[in-house]
Amino acid sequence: MHPSRLTESIQPRLPTDRTLGIGCVGAGFIMADCQLVAYRQHGLNPVAITSRTRTTASAVAARHGISSVVDSVEQVVAHPEVQVLDIAVPPDCQADMIRRAVRAPHRLRAILAQKPLGVDYREARELVQLCEDAGIVLAVNQNMRFDQSVHACHELIAMGTLGTPVLATIEMRAIPHWMPWQERQGWVTLRIMSIHHLDTFRYWLGEPERVFASVAPDPRTAQKFAHRDGIALYILEFPSGVRASSWDDVWSGPAREGSASDIGIRWRVEGTAGIARGTIGWPGYPDRVPSTIDYSTVHDNGEWHSPRWDSVWFPDAFIGPMAELMCALEQKRKPTINARDNLNTMALVDACYLSAAEHRAVSPEEITD
């Protein structure tokens, strides 16, 4: 694939009709600083918002020009213009929001939920069935798929530019800003960070047969609350023979304690006809650090192609999930991020927890059976 075509392919695909009313539940960082920023950049139409505190919702509404501030999810879905509900609340609160939205009188056609869809696979499956029974399209905001370099690599694989994939790796050395609600859960990396990488491997390579995971507490976070899955390492085996592995290191050395810092996320995909490597710019937030990709094939005389762009994952790529959902509604098809498909990502996360606990390889089918 020519570099110019690859750069063009990462541009967001937008619906023809951008007037569809969006109702917003939650007014924290993801909603206020990522989703609504991206929506306004591309002319989407958020019309109502609610949050745990009305003052927070009012401040976010004023910032993003949302006309209606209300006190509950029921009042959001009752708004006469709302047809799509955008939920951005902690994972242990999300199921209740979805259930309440479905039970309330509404004109909802679709819901965009955050990842993880539930606190585990079982809860996620219940939510998927609930929305299917109600005739509501449920999609999951697996936004790393819309990171510019991740999407570009998917295009190279899908077009056969790299030949048959042989090995894919992700190496994350980063110190996330953990949310207070994670202490309630007692889990850290697998359901918050690794879920992005596990879903990306599925996006690139399809469904794995088994996973072997090993976890250890993050020394820094362990001083705040007990958890098992701070540092997470895992290997995926696919039926085609391709292997994938990720090192999700949220300790990253004592950088906060005084040592030099070596922070970053790098990925790599090797195929029979080419190789692609990239970086993820997210750890540089709030600075605008674009993700990157370089690739070379057996036809390139040893040269690298290095397309570059100005857009970034946070917040620019957050237009991707909502736009994909709206395009799917418009085209009367399933969104690529539909929740039924996302159950396979949830099962893979749960398989990692089981693998780490029992020190053995686990098939996702053990979770889904």
- Report pLDDT for 179: 85
Does residue 190 surpass a pLDDT of 80?
A: yes
- Report pLDDT for 5: 87
Question: Which residue is it, tokens 């999609």?
Answer: 139
SS3 for 298-352, per residue?
CCCCCCCECCCCCCCCCCHHHHHHHHHHHHHHHHCCCCCCEHHHHHHHHHHHHHH
Does residue 169 surpass a pLDDT of 80?
A: yes
Label residue 253 left, alpha or beta by phi (over 0 means left) and psi (-120 to 50 means alpha). Answer: left
Does residue 117 surpass a pLDDT of 80?
A: yes
- Report pLDDT for 228: 93
The Cα–Cα gap between 131 and 111 comes to 9
- Report pLDDT for 272: 98
Average pLDDT estimate for 163-184: 93
- Report pLDDT for 343: 98
Do 291 and 313 contact (CB within 8 A), yes or no?
yes
The Cα–Cα gap between 173 and 193 comes to 11
Mind listing the domains of the chain with CATH numbers?
8-143+333-337 (3.40.50.720), 148-312+342-368 (3.30.360.10)
Do 328 and 316 contact (CB within 8 A), yes or no?
no
- Report pLDDT for 18: 97
Average pLDDT estimate for 177-184: 86
Average pLDDT of every residue of the chain:
96
- Report pLDDT for 180: 85
- Report pLDDT for 185: 86
Does residue 1 surpass a pLDDT of 80?
A: no
- Nearest by Cα to 277 from 250, 299, 301, 304: 304
List C-alpha distances in Å: 265 to 88, 246, 317. Answer: 25, 11, 17
Give the global pTM: 0.97
- Report pLDDT for 9: 87
Average pLDDT estimate for 284-300: 97
- Report pLDDT for 43: 98
DSSP code, position 362: B
Is 237 buried (19+), middle (13-18) or exposed (0-12) by CB count in 10 A?
Answer: middle
Rounded to 5 degrees, what are φ and ψ at 255?
A: -65, -35
- Report pLDDT for 116: 97
Residues above pLDDT 90, as percent of the chain: 93
- Report pLDDT for 266: 98
Average pLDDT estimate for 200-212: 98
